[in-house]
Homo-oligomer: A and B are copies of this chain.
Amino acid sequence: MSLIVVGSMAFDAIETPFGKSDKIVGGAATYIAWSASNFTQPVQQVSVVGGDFPQEELDALTARGVQLEGVQIKKDEKSFFWSGKYHMDMNSRDTLDTQLNVLADFDPVIPDSYQGCEFLMLGNLLPSVQMRVIEQLKVRPKLIAMDTMNFWMDTAMEDLAKVIAKVDLLFVNDSEARQLSGQFSLVKAAREIMKMGPKYLVIKKGEHGALLFHDDKVFFAPALPLEDVFDPTGAGDTFAGGFIGHVAKTNDISFNNMKTAIIVGSAMASFCVEKFGTTRLKEISKTDIDDRIQQFVQLVNFDIELV
């Protein structure tokens, strides 16, 4: 099934307790596309880059079945740039620098060839830009999923609420879920957020796994216990990409299939953090992914016999 992915394609400079990267390719839509394209094709990308964005990165995505007709290239401008530093626990980070550049006035245009797509993944972006994408789709996709972040809750809550009301599934992390709902308990937070529109909610807890909520049902997937988390940048996007990629591949939006999608997303995220940027995502094969998913089965599978 076809999948539209919307989000930034950008440069990052990352410092972790394990090392420091140069200016490397990143961006939500980059990670989502690398992850989702393992499972479904075409991925129809919507983004904006400057003239400084490497052509070979675009070519590599094309070779993966990612269509780039919806990616605007502004030759005389610079790509979005983010620089950050992670602390020892890898769950918290400081932003050192943000340069919006081409993102400052991004007006997404959905190519005709993307119309009729079955799945839409709105990566973290200005809510008004996410809304502009939804508005341009002539047929509503079977599932609209979105990611967002606390920054938009602080600065654009009204717009954010409007987009959240339009989507089927929302990805947030635990602190964002608490901020968005005003509830500390994630169970109560989930109930409040689902009242805002989404029928499905995924709460990401980083190294502590992820929860999927729907009606009064809940499913939990752990993160894989790793020796080292080398660089968490993009892990959430890679998770979302694996999730939506699996859902699009199977064309099944049942709660039961979303459980599997959460495991697939968790497996993909566990690769992402092993090296800087998208490096590891570019290396892995289908066998690697299948093996990793089997590790999740081993990690949580147990026999119970109630006597």
- A residues neighboring B (CB under 8 Å): 88-89, 184-188, 205, 208-209, 211, 217-222, 225-229, 256, 259-260, 262-263, 290, 293-294, 297-304, 306
Contact = CB atoms under 8 A, between A and B. Distances in A.
B293 A187 contact: no
A226 B217 CA distance: 12
Nearest to A305: B260
Given A205-B208, A225-B211, A228-B185, A219 B306 contact: no
Contacts of A220: 222, 225, 299-300
Nearest to A219: B299
Nearest to A206: B208
A226 B187 contact: yes
Given A219-B299, A219-B302, A185 B263 contact: no
A134 to B, nearest CB: 30
Nearest to A258: B302
26 contacts: A88-B184, A185-B227, A185-B228, A185-B229, A186-B225, A208-B208, A209-B209, A209-B222, A211-B225, A219-B298, A219-B300, A219-B302, A220-B222, A220-B225, A222-B222, A256-B303, A259-B301, A259-B302, A260-B302, A260-B303, A260-B304, A262-B302, A263-B302, A290-B306, A293-B304, A300-B300
Contacts of A290: 306
A226 B88 CA distance: 29
A224 to B, nearest CB: 9
A195 B48 CA distance: 52
A303 B228 CA distance: 28
Question: Per DSSP, are chain A's interface residues mostly helix, strand or loop, or mixed?
Answer: mixed
Q: Which of A217, A218, A221, A302 has the most CB of B within 10 A?
A: A302
B188 A227 contact: yes
A174 to B, nearest CB: 10
A259 B306 CA distance: 14
A289 to B, nearest CB: 9
Contacts of A222: 209, 220, 222
Contacts of A188: 227
Contact of A218 (B89, B208, B256, B299): B299
A295 to B, nearest CB: 9
Contacts of A301: 259
Nearest to A259: B302
